[in-house]
Chain A
């Protein structure tokens, strides 16, 4: 398993980001003066009411959306245009329905023109690691939602990106599968040292996975507060759920999100 080298400096730097979408009928301020620095190896989770600009924030980091004002940097380089040194996972798995699981994972390699043999080896590693063995040839419609999302995760990890951006990746899964995916993602993060930014609606997910939880307000999206998660880096799902520190943080978050949603 290749490990992204720990880098000096910041993995992601956002300073005073503001985004306005204007259409003929209306003008929406999606993000308002958002600043956030993320260190290499951090796992930052973002929670906030829907429509507060969380997806937009990730897309700005990926270079898919231009901010109206403000600066973004990725790995200490300013972001101009789509970034290649990231892995992106969406809420929908967004798989190619004509390709089997393995071929979907290898799309990453084909699009980047990576070395074939090396990519194939890496794909096999990831398939084994995420428990997709036996389903390599299955088409997306033959896979359960959880397995589709695993394929999307493998695709995002194939090129061992130093930064992984995830937009509500487990939102459509049932609770049990979701817990299982959380445990897996936690392990992958520990083993690879990848910097992860994950947007979620689940407070439990945000606390279990994050080293930091960022809470955003309803539109226009601002960062209300950032909580450090005082749990060991190495976490077990059942233990964390019964930990009093988890309870306290979850209660705080719930209170904050409740008031944020009330303003909505």
Chain B
């Protein structure tokens, strides 16, 4: 529907332009100005109303909801009839019971993992952006940093996790380092791609405007890089969860990764499932937060124009 609104604005603009052109060709002094469109015509299309937006959201959600419902039904069917023994696959009811019974404990572990993930993600975003700026601006730093970044990416992080525990102990540090190591790469790659995608004519233009590198970065290059960067941050935030959990696997006394190992050792499949659900919830919530930040930061970008549902861009 917004498409239509745009279309109309364009047609009105053309309609306003055509008579002006004929006026210019027929007037004798050639000084006629273009007829201005009446005020209020054109400009931005009206924002969709709240009800309308709820409808758009509902429209984008019913398909995944249906798939999820089918999945739960199948799970419940298989588990409740014990086609698979309950110590391997618990019923949804058992998982729910575990979740509510041990809620305070589970909530505490969730907060620990969430904290590690968020801290790791924020650090990865900051370091990744700084590295991207260095790489995009300096040929020398490009040659010096890129191989290191690539090397840090190809080391199997799971393999160095034990080493990090040996170095930094069982506290927060190794988990955060792992989260940063895993989440860093997509931020750098997307940041460099974004910063390099600036139209060279815009940079020429900035030069003739007498602007220094900082102003050019702030007003042109950085906003231009944001769509790429946000895509990288969305990947990074889901990877940061993996980093934190892997860190907890290797050596921890709290966190969802630690709980997972405990549940596994006790063959407590209900707890294990509850734990998995909470891990996924962390990833989804953080992902949605980044999506919201994206919607606020780059509403102008093609991928974000009204009508595009929140989670499929």
Residue numbers of A with Cβ under 8 A of B are 59, 62-64, 82-84, 86-88, 90, 92, 94, 96-98, 100, 107-108, 110-112, 128-139, 141-144, 146-147, 176-177, 179-180, 183-184, 186-187, 234-239
- Asked if A144 and B210 sit within 8 Å, CB to CB, the answer is no
- Asked if A183 and B24 sit within 8 Å, CB to CB, the answer is yes
- Closest A residue to B297 by beta carbon equals A98
Total number of B residues with any Cβ neighbor in A under 8 Å: 53
Residues of chain A with a CB closer than 8 A to B34's CB = 130-131, 180, 184
The answer for the CA separation of A215 and B209 in the assembled complex, in Å, is 29
- Closest B residue to A130 by beta carbon equals B34
- Asked if A180 and B20 sit within 8 Å, CB to CB, the answer is yes
Residues of chain A with a CB closer than 8 A to B223's CB = 96, 98
- Asked if A235 and B30 sit within 8 Å, CB to CB, the answer is yes
A179-B25 contact given A138-B42, A139-B44, CB 8 Å threshold: yes
The answer for the CA separation of A235 and B24 in the assembled complex, in Å, is 11
State whether the Cβ of B207 lies closer than 8 Å to any Cβ in chain A. yes
Q: Which of A86, A138, A236 interacts with B28 by CB under 8 Å?
A: A236
- Asked if B29 and A234 sit within 8 Å, CB to CB, the answer is yes
The answer for the CA separation of A129 and B27 in the assembled complex, in Å, is 17
- Closest A residue to B206 by beta carbon equals A111
- Asked if B207 and A237 sit within 8 Å, CB to CB, the answer is no
Residues of chain B with a CB closer than 8 A to A128's CB = 36
Q: List 21 A-B contacts (CB under 8 A).
A: A83-B208, A84-B208, A87-B208, A88-B205, A94-B199, A94-B202, A111-B211, A111-B215, A112-B211, A129-B33, A132-B36, A133-B36, A134-B42, A136-B43, A177-B17, A180-B21, A180-B34, A184-B33, A184-B34, A234-B30, A237-B30
Residues of chain B with a CB closer than 8 A to A146's CB = 17
Nearest CB in chain B: distance from A49 CB, A: 22
- Asked if A237 and B24 sit within 8 Å, CB to CB, the answer is yes
Residues of chain B with a CB closer than 8 A to A134's CB = 36-43
Q: Which segment of B5-13, B159-167, B245-253 sits at the interface? A: B5-13
The answer for the CA separation of A33 and B111 in the assembled complex, in Å, is 72
- Asked if B300 and A111 sit within 8 Å, CB to CB, the answer is no
Nearest CB in chain B: distance from A88 CB, A: 5
- Closest B residue to A59 by beta carbon equals B204
A98-B207 contact given A131-B36, A134-B42, CB 8 Å threshold: no
